[in-house]
Structure 1
């Protein structure tokens, strides 16, 4: 029993650490030069910024895939189907992150080629760059976000039903997940842009993710509710 409790405690700590890693890597994966107006001309000159952003974006895969996998043993005791769904969405988010990194590196390559061409080819590069950047935004802010937030919604729902974390924490996670899903959908249909409204809708889930991480690191799961059939 002691070994099982220690194992569950470490699982909570590592999950909490990965949640924080996901937030930190998300911040450092931002590449301002790609989001700027003159990205075709400036990206090649700021290659290190693009490569660093790509590196941190790849680190996000560890967090996005690792969190639902680490939670699976605890969640599956309460609802195996939802736990498995959370893992599936987490893996899907990881795949989309990798696709986003590939597009980012393609934009860097395009910028290098752009610096070599004459004025007569600018329109072609601008069109291709616009398509790649639009694709990257859709992959990062729609596909990836929806996949991971759906994973969070599922495991917060199991949290709510099982009470292995306080219900106020799971309820805020459910509300934050819904708001983040709405932000991605509104961006996809162009009701909003990547602006203040988009950020405001995503703040609740980010705050809940941080609080949940700290809770799991400091207190872990509710042991009384962790093994309902024991």
Structure 2
């Protein structure tokens, strides 16, 4: 019971750390992501951009940390889904790292652009467009597409086992479905990544993570949940 309480607190803190670092990273990237003069602005705010990359690295560590910490508890009920959750969290993290590399590469390019006195501007702008596109796609595929899959996995186990109150797991499954749908709609151009619809469809999964985080910090995993999965849950067929 004590290990469950401690693990719950760790998971809760990691969820909050992931949320804060992801927002901070996006805000700190602003000079090199926004505006037509991003090459000059990026070089002028190099330390800010690097700090943004550091925030996203904290996001990566936090995301992987949640899956590793939850795995021993989730595997008691469904080992396949528990392992799948870890794998998809790692895939999400890898995609985010690719986005970080694209931003750091863009920063290096902007510094060279500023040092060379804006020579061959068209070539720099073409390369900048490519690196921006890489970041945009990683932002779509990592914190949206993959997030929807791994959130559905752990929320389903939570729902079946009551490790946390069912209203939280239902919100998690709903949020996972909506953010996954948003990623597909954005992929096919139904609306832009940064849009009102994108924000609305992402809101439930963000709310789920924060509510889950607070619950786990305060209460931990449910102590009255069964110690392991029911080998013959209601509705299953005995052979």
Assess, with a 3 A threshold, how the Cα gap between structure 1 residues 54 and 120 changes in structure 2: closer, same or farther: closer
Structure 1, 9-18 or 192-201: larger mean CA deviation: 192-201
SS at 1:29 equivalent? helix
Superposition pairs of residues 62-211 of structure 1, within 5 angstroms: 62-117=61-116, 121-193=120-192, 194-211=194-211
* Equivalences, count: 226
Aligned counterpart, 2:19: 23
User: Could you tell me how far apart the structure 1 residues matched to 2:149 and 2:170 are?
Assistant: 14
Structure 2's unaligned 5+ residue stretches are 231-239
Aligned-residue CA RMSD (Å): 1.6
Aligned counterpart, 2:219: 219
Name the structure with the higher helix share. Answer: 1
TM-score (norm 2): 0.90
The answer (yes or no) to whether the contact 1:142–1:184 under 8 Å persists in 2 is yes
Structure 1's unaligned 5+ residue stretches are none
SS at 2:163 equivalent? coil
SS at 2:225 equivalent? helix
The answer (yes or no) to whether the contact 1:103–1:136 under 8 Å persists in 2 is yes
User: Could you tell me how far apart the structure 2 residues matched to 1:229 and 1:85 are?
Assistant: 17
Aligned counterpart, 2:6: 10
Aligned-residue offset at 1:119: 5.7
Does residue 59 of structure 2 align to residue 34 of structure 1? no
The answer (yes or no) to whether the contact 1:142–1:187 under 8 Å persists in 2 is no
SS at 1:223 equivalent? coil
TM-score (norm 1): 0.93
The answer (yes or no) to whether the contact 1:72–1:87 under 8 Å persists in 2 is yes
Structure 1, 192-201 or 98-107: larger mean CA deviation: 192-201
Assess, with a 3 A threshold, how the Cα gap between structure 1 residues 218 and 226 changes in structure 2: closer, same or farther: farther
